[in-house]
């Protein structure tokens, strides 16, 4: 089944202010978010995530470009007429009202009949598993419970798209983990498109169907978590998400999205995935995740060789720091095996085998 585009941003630019002090918060952003997707905008502070969310919600307007909702330009629609709702970082609950009143508030504003509001509030309380707290004031419930009320309130009018602006950042680590699972469940059960904003890469990787990585008002890469993690095509993305090894080299041969790269640290040329836009013989940077390589004895099977400078035990896994022949460092992360522990020690000459399909050429 081909799913419909729920939200489309087309060449969206947002400039705040004028003259030399103006800020280009978004610069020609184009992205399509599918119906029923859990879509995450991920990037560091100030990259434009909240600005994009606010434009979708209608709290602000693009300087250039347009935003379509199910194919319709939504520019003429004020926020309350858009089938979109927002969960804010600080929840914005009414402390003097009960949980039930908070959840029903939006529906009452829409003049829905009381019986309908009551039924919907009960349904939402069931959904967020808070039936017993219906009559409690929101000032008398915990942070995690407030988060659930904020979600229930935003979901009550059955929006087509739910915007979530760093909704878990005020929660402590354990609660945040629980709420990540809870959010995913809510999205599955309601089938509503979620657009989630975070600067936390782990949160993005664990919850999203797709992630857009943003930097300085641009979307650099869009893809499924595994794709973004395994094949970061941009240096910023490789650096921002997870740890990685950077290797210098030169293209020795290319065929479509595949390349052979001769590495500066020696050894045979390695196969790597190649983004578009490279010329033959170009100098390139290749990235390999530390867990996508194995440490082996200094034999012929190794792709790279070097001296083991450090062996760091982390309980679940061990990190091997290898100094390669060109002076660069390569880290291999290997899961610990109780029955067959590794036999490498600091100072050993070691080999590294890079897994198939693990090397990626970077666009700088």
- Is the CB of 30 or the CB of 257 nearer to ligand ATP? 30
Does residue 23 touch ligand ATP according to CB under 6 A? yes
Q: Which of 3, 4, 11, 16 binds ligand ATP (CB under 6 A)?
A: 16
Please, how many CA atoms are within 13 Å of residue 97, restricted to the half-sphere of its CB? 14
Stretch that binds ligand ATP, among 38-46, 168-176, 284-292, 330-338 (CB under 6 A): 38-46
Alpha helices in 231-293 (DSSP H): 235-240
CB atoms within 10 A of CB 222: 17
Q: How many residues bind ligand ATP (CB under 6 A)?
A: 13
> How many Å apart are CA 75 and CA 9, to the nearest integer?
12
Tokens 């641009």 -> residue: 218
Q: Does 55 bind ligand ATP (CB under 6 A)?
A: no
Distances (CA, A) of 91 to 40, 127, 149, 319: 19, 18, 8, 41
* Distance separating alpha carbons of residues 130 and 156, to the nearest angstrom: 14
Binds ligand ATP (CB under 6 A): choice among 6, 9, 25, 265: 25
**Which listed range, 46-54, 111-119, 123-131, 146-154, lies at the site for ligand ATP (CB under 6 A)?**
46-54
Encode burial over 126-135: b for 16+ CB neighbours within 10 A, e otherwise. ebbebeebee
Does 187 engage in binding with ligand ATP (CB under 6 A)? Answer: no
**Of residues 51, 98, 201, 254, which one binds ligand ATP by CB under 6 A?**
51
Residue 199 in contact with ligand ATP, rule: CB under 6 A: yes
- For residue 364, the minimal CB distance to ligand ATP (Å) is 22
Residue 51 or 147: the one with the smaller Cβ distance to ligand ATP is: 51
Q: Provide the CB-side half-sphere exposure for 25 (13 A, CA).
A: 19
Strands 270-273 and 218-223: unpaired
Q: Does 111 bind ligand ATP (CB under 6 A)?
A: no
Determine if 59 is a binding residue for ligand ATP (CB under 6 A): no
CB 84 → ligand ATP: shortest distance, Å? 17
* Contact residues for 265 (Cβ-Cβ < 8 A; gap 6+): 247, 248, 304, 306, 324, 325, 326, 328, 330
Contact call for residue 62 and ligand ATP (CB under 6 A): no
Euclidean distance between CA atoms 185 and 29, whole angstroms? 30
Residues 7, 8, 9, 43: which binds ligand ATP (CB under 6 A)?
43
Q: Does residue 231 bind ligand ATP (CB under 6 A)?
A: no
| Of 45 and 111, CB closest to ligand ATP | 45
Residues 148 and 93: beta-carbon distance below 8 Å: no
Contact letters (x/-) for ligand ATP, 141-180, by CB under 6 A?
----------------------------------------
Task: Verify binding: residue 47, ligand ATP, rule CB under 6 A.
Answer: yes
Could you tell me which stretch among 40-48, 185-193, 317-325, 329-337 binds ligand ATP (CB under 6 A)? 40-48
Q: Which of 20, 45, 76, 135 binds ligand ATP (CB under 6 A)?
A: 45
Can residue 12 be called a binding residue for ligand ATP (CB under 6 A)? no
Comparing CA positions, the residue from 162, 29, 151, 195 lying closest to residue 84 is 162
CB 175 within 8 A of CB 143: yes
Q: How many helices (H) and strands (E) does the chain have?
A: 8, 20
Smallest gap from residue 218 Cβ to ligand ATP (A): 12
List residues near ligand ATP by CB under 6 A.
16-17, 23, 25, 43, 45-51, 199
């Amino acid at each position: 089944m081909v799913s419909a585009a729920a939200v489309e941003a087309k060449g969206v630019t947002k400039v705040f202010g004028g003259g030399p002090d103006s800020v280009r918060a978004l610069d020609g952003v184009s992205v399509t978010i599918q119906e029923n997707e859990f879509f995450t905008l991920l990037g560091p502070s100030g990259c434009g995530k909240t600005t994009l969310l606010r434009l979708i919600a209608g709290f602000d307007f693009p300087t250039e470009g347009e935003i379509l909702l199910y194919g319709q330009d939504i520019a003429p629609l004020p926020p309350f007429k858009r089938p979109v709702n927002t969960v804010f970082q600080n929840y914005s609950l009414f402390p003097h009202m009960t949980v039930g009143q908070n959840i029903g508030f939006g529906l009452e504003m829409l003049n829905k009949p009381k019986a309908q509001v009551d039924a919907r509030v009960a349904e939402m309380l069931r959904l967020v598993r808070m039936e017993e707290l219906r009559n409690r004031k929101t000032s008398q419930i915990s942070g995690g419970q407030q988060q659930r009320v904020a979600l229930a309130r935003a979901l009550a009018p059955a929006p087509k798209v739910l915007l979530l602006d760093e909704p878990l950042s005020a929660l402590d680590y354990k609660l945040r983990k629980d709420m990540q699972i809870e959010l995913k469940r809510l999205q599955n059960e309601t089938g509503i498109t979620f657009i989630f904003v975070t600067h936390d890469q782990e949160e993005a990787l664990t919850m999203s169907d797709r992630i857009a990585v943003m930097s300085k008002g641009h979307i650099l890469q869009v893809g499924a978590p595994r794709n973004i993690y395994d094949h970061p095509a941009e240096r910023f993305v490789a650096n921002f998400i997870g740890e990685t090894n950077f290797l210098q080299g030169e293209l020795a041969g290319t065929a479509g999205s595949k390349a052979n790269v001769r590495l500066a640290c020696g050894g045979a040329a390695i196969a790597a995935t190649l983004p578009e836009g490279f010329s033959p013989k170009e100098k390139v940077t290749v990235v390999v995740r530390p867990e996508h390589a194995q440490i082996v004895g200094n034999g012929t099977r190794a792709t790279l060789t070097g001296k083991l400078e450090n062996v760091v035990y982390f309980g679940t896994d061990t990190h091997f720091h290898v100094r390669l022949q060109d002076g660069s460092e390569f880290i291999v992360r290997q899961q610990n095996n109780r029955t067959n522990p590794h036999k490498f020690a600091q100072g050993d000459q070691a080999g590294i085998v890079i897994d198939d399909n693990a090397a990626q050429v970077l666009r700088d």
